[in-house]
C-alpha cells in the first residue's frame, strides 16, 4: 500500500478482555516498530521486528503484551487481560534499513479505550 495502515482505528473494550491490533507496513519495508502514545506525551517504543523475528521487545511493559509478525509483513499486537492503564494510542511504524537512512513512517494509530 501507499502508507502504513492500522486497524481498527478505534477499539473500546472492557477491563479484563483480550484485544488484537493490526499493522500493515509499507510494502517492502523489513523493519516494523510498535509505539504507544499516552495523552500529552510523545510516543514510546514497545517492540521492534526485523523480518519475522522480534529483535528488541524491551519496551513491552509486562507479559500481558505480545506481538507477532509471522510472514515478515503484517504484525499483530496482542494485549491480554486489559487494564484501564492500557488506554492509549498504539502506533505502528515501518522502515527500510539501508535506504533513506532508516527513516520511519507511521500509521494513523489505533486508539484503545479500556473501560
Partner 1 sequence: GIQVEQSPPDLILQEGANSTLRCNFSDSVNNLQWFHQNPWGQLINLFYIPSGTKQNGRLSATTVATERYSLLYISSSQTTDSGVYFCAVATWTGANSKLTFGKGITLSVRP
Cβ of residue 52: shortest distance to partner 1, in angstroms? 14
> In angstroms, rounded to a whole number, what is the distance separating the alpha carbons of residues 4 and 106?
6
Q: Least Å distance between CB 67 and partner 1? A: 14
Q: Which is nearer to partner 1, 56 or 83 (CB)?
A: 56
CA distance 24 to 106: 11
Q: How far apart are CA 110 and CA 106, in angstroms?
A: 12
Report the C-alpha gap between 102 and 22 in whole angstroms. 22
Binding-site residue total for partner 1 (CB under 8 A)? Answer: 29
Q: Of 11, 29, 33, 73, which lies in the binding site for partner 1, with binding defined by CB under 8 A? A: 33
Which grid coordinates belong to 91?
502506533
User: What residues form DSSP beta bridges with 27?
Assistant: none
Applying CB under 8 A, which of residues 11, 19, 32, 35 lies at the interface with partner 1?
Answer: 35
Cell of 23: 499493522
Check residue 25 and report its DSSP letter. -
Binding to partner 1 by CB under 8 A, coded x per residue (else -) over 56-95, reads x--x-----------------------------x-x-x-x
> Which chain residues interact with partner 1 by CB under 8 A?
31, 33, 35, 37, 41-45, 48, 50, 55-56, 59, 89, 91, 93, 95, 97, 100-106, 108-109, 111
Amino acid at each position: 500500500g501507499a502508507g502504513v495502515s492500522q486497524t481498527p482505528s478505534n477499539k473500546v473494550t472492557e477491563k479484563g478482555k483480550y484485544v488484537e491490533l493490526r499493522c500493515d507496513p509499507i510494502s517492502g519495508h523489513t523493519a516494523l516498530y510498535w509505539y504507544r502514545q499516552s495523552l500529552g506525551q510523545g510516543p514510546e517504543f514497545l517492540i521492534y521486528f526485523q523480518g519475522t523475528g522480534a529483535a528488541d521487545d524491551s519496551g513491552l511493559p509486562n507479559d500481558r503484551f505480545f506481538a507477532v509478525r509471522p510472514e515478515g509483513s503484517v504484525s499483530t499486537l496482542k494485549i491480554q487481560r486489559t487494564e484501564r492503564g492500557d488506554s492509549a494510542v498504539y502506533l505502528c511504524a515501518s522502515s527500510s534499513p539501508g535506504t533513506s537512512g532508516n527513516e520511519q513512517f507511521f500509521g494513523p494509530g489505533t486508539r484503545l479505550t479500556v473501560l
